[in-house]
Structure 1
Amino acid sequence: MPMPYSKTVSILQITDLHILPEPGEKMLGIDTEYYFKAVLEQAFAAGNTFDLILVSGDLAQDPCTASYTRILKTLEQYPVNSVCLPGNHDDYPLMLSLFNSQKVSCYKQTLFEDWQLICLNSQIPGRPGGNIDNEELLFLQKCLAEQPDYFALIAVHHHVLPTQSQWMDTMLIENQHEVLKILLNYPQVKAVTSGHIHQVMDRDYQSLRVLGSPATCFQFKPLCRDFTLDLEMPGYRIINLLPDGSIETSVYRLPGLLQELSLDSFGY
């Protein structure tokens, strides 16, 4: 999908919405849909503009037409296209059937003037962990081989590097080493960004920058052996792709603390 020229490409990454079937429903004590909308409102406040919204998985908690339709209507209110990829909680075929317009889609490859965004499906249906299957790996290599003059940002739901939270890292992409080997074989690949971890990651792995983003709902406390929630507020990441192949990125959060969160929960 060719995109209009922009000297610096600005991407708003939101992730892990966990929208519930009915409006006003709460999960772990919070209204996930309320915070999804609040994050978008803050990101676009004061005239901020973006070239794309990247929604990096777990759009729905219990995926159904109702939840995806409300997400679609919310995204369509903004003057920018959105690209959505599936997480372990999502129904990918349902996403493909509903997010099928130019405004909101599941496009796997987006071309800008100097960059390409490649979205990969790491979902293993029925399981919380991730894997990039052979079809996806071939697609990845095809995109990179056919567009050698484009810098590349890779987006995927599950994380490719450990978080050092033992419970979370049981869901690391199973074939992470195979994926990283491919990415490192193409010097135009500059970064990988993911969701799933509900916390911030920003690490260098050889020539790659590896990013993880906060969720638009509840956050996970870093460096924990077991499932642990954090009072940090919902947030988002802005990724600026510069024409010289460099990346500038920052994480922003809603103000305050997530006081209504049920900290005694043992899972989600």
Structure 2
Amino acid sequence: MPQSHIMPGFRPTLGFTLFYLALIVLIPLSALVFKSMQLSLDQYWDILTNARVQASFRVSFVSALIAAGIAALFGFIIAWTLVRYPFPGKKLFDALIDLPFALPTAVAGIVLAAIYEPNGWIGRIVMDTLGVQIAYKPLGIVFALIFIGLPFVVRTVEPVLQEFDTAMEEAAASLGANRLQTFIRIILPNILPATLTGFALAFARGVGEYGSVIFIAGNMPYVSEIVPLLIITKLEQYDYAGATAIGLTMLVISFLLLLLVNALQWWVRRRSGQL
């Protein structure tokens, strides 16, 4: 006899899951693919090799990668602090981490632009001391994407640290390992998969972010113009073919990069014995 499931309703829930994936994810993406098929290879190539398009891709993906890496580092530090150390105002600080989730992206962009512009509170200090302009430059995009992506890393790493057995750290210390050795050999292999997941989420959000970026980016072609803004520009100019080609290329590149991150995550889990 086939083994029965503990929870009933497997077939209806599976059907609902497939229906959801088809209706919300697969059908819109397939429509984008079918729309792009109306272009010939030469037309598609001409759109992608345009200097402005290539510059926008470079700005979007490089900024998202840098911001996700920085968010992964500082997100782990924040998660570690929240889990391991008690301090006054901890609950309030923990609640503020989720603020970018609830804050409208346009509001976040306006606030960040006001703070980091050359006459802003932080922007003026950085300009006077370091001579570096943050707002209306690619650096401003990185700052905005860090603000957006940081909560993804914190909320992904925090549960793993809460479930981590500190007895392993004590055992390593009793065997003569110092703090650095304990972190590299005991803690890091257990939290690295979660950190990579947070990195992937922050990167995926950063590549497609629009509202919080356009106010601080300056939106200058070849300098600080992001791909989502270029797609909007193409649509406003009724260049649906160009918008479709750029959108499909962005989708394919994002998928390949996320696939690479997931493969790296699987490799780390396998090396650490979690699989």
TM-score by length of 1: 0.24
The structure with the greater share of residues assigned to helix is: 2
The structure with the greater share of residues assigned to strand is: 1
Which has the higher relative contact order, 1 or 2, with Cα contacts under 8 A spaced 6 or more apart?
Answer: 2
Report which of the two structures shows the higher radius of gyration computed on alpha carbons.
2
